[in-house]
Amino acid sequence: MQLKNDRYLRALQCQPVDCTPVWMMRQAGRYLPEYRQLRAKAGDFMTMCKNPELACEATLQPLRRFDLDAAIIFSDILTIPDAMGLGLYFEQGEGPKFQRNITSLADIEALPIPDPELELAYVTDAIRLTRQSLQGKVPLIGFAGSPWTLATYMVEGGSSKTFGKIKKMLYSDPAALHLLLDKLADSVALYLNAQIQAGAQSIMIFDSWGGALSHRSYVEFSLQYMQKILAALQRGQRGTQYTPEYVPVTLFTKGGGLWLDKIMATGCDAVGVDWTVDLSTLPKGHTAIQGNLDPTILYADKTTIEQNTALILKEFGPHNGHVFNLGHGINQDTPIASVETLINAVHQFSKREV
């Protein structure tokens, strides 16, 4: 089915668009009253993730309210560790936790590589159902966590502020950590290829905690494994003109501004950047840029939101290859009117002739 709105995919291929496409990380989330009702009906977050009908509904909810240029499948980055048998659960107010965490080389050696059409079939089923339900309105994004980010949760047992356990492994037993990251890279590549086969039209890899690494460790323990995944993805051949069937890949390292040249050199189609990056300093034309409004600006008044949106568009300039987004996920207490203001401002201020 031909897409009715393909400006997001065009922008990722650095092709001309009639206006800058916009979507938001965590656009299906708790800031929406209909999402809160759906989650209450489901009972808990993982039930929503593992029920394709509920995941599809959550994915579609923000598109009914806002003129977004892409949908992102409702899921979680920690589905792979859960499928490996670590027992993912969510503690109220504390975020994700695992019943069993990784503490030794033996734990790593015992980890299976999940079959995405068995242990993770609920995700691929949700993608198939959502593609059908979208009816070509906008493209559907699939995603996964980066090996390093997944490993932090698996070793720490949940979220962390210091990353003390995994950094201890990094410096005292790097061979064990490399084995874990290698298994995760293989698992993520299989998982993302299954998402592409199921109908994902773009892929995003979230390296949420890459910014916690030293500048030397980042390339060795994070970037090289994302590059391994990229090399394994069956995304088709990108042409010099817009290629609708090509599946572009975005890499996003939060706090990764120091390494953008290295990230671009991986061969990814787009790089996600947070609000610490000045878009005017980045090279334009071959690798697309996604970002980068600070999500807390959405607490401000309409004029402030519009002014900051205009500043980011001006920073990027009149070049091809910009996907407007927040610098990280939308906050759960964000006013809905602010989201409407942002999306309308992006489209209005970036209109141009194609």
- Rg of the chain, C-alpha, whole Å: 19
Q: How confident is the model at residue 301 (pLDDT cuts 50, 70, 90)?
A: very high
Helix/strand/coil percent split, the chain, to 5: 50, 10, 40
Given 30, 65, 128, 238, which residue is catalytic? Answer: 30
Q: How confident is the model at residue 208 (pLDDT cuts 50, 70, 90)?
A: very high
294 is in an annotated binding site: no
pLDDT computed for residue 92 by the predictor: 72
Q: How confident is the model at residue 260 (pLDDT cuts 50, 70, 90)?
A: very high
Given 76, 207, 269, 274, which residue is catalytic? Answer: 76
Is residue 122 part of the annotated active site? The answer reads no
**Distance in angstroms (rounded) separating the CA atoms of residues 300 and 334:** 10
**Distance in angstroms (rounded) separating the CA atoms of residues 67 and 7:** 12
pLDDT computed for residue 20 by the predictor: 98
CATH level 3 topology of 7-349: TIM Barrel (3.20.20)
pLDDT tens figures, 81-98: 999 999 998 877 678 889
pLDDT computed for residue 161 by the predictor: 86
The amino acid at residue 80 is I
Give pTM, 2 decimals.
0.96
Mean pLDDT of the chain: 96
Q: What percent of the chain has pLDDT over 70?
A: 99
27 is in an annotated binding site: yes
Is residue 26 part of the annotated active site? The answer reads yes
For residue 40 the two structure tokens come to: 């209450």
238 is in an annotated binding site: no
Is residue 30 part of the annotated active site? The answer reads yes
Q: Looking at the chain, which runs of residues are DSSP E strands?
A: 71-72, 88-91, 95-98, 140-145, 202-207, 249-253, 270-272, 288-290, 322-323
DSSP 145: E
* Cα diameter, the chain: 59
Q: Is the predicted pLDDT of residue 257 greater than 90, yes or no?
A: yes
User: What residue ranges do the domains of the chain occupy?
Assistant: 7-349
Q: What percent of the chain has pLDDT over 90?
A: 92
Q: Is the predicted pLDDT of residue 104 greater than 80, yes or no?
A: yes
Angle subtended by helix axes 302-316 and 336-349, to nearest 10: 40
> In Å, how far from its chain's centre is CA 244?
21
For residue 112 the two structure tokens come to: 């299976």
Given 6, 7, 10, 26, which residue is catalytic? Answer: 26
pLDDT mean over 45-69: 97
Is residue 39 part of the annotated active site? The answer reads yes
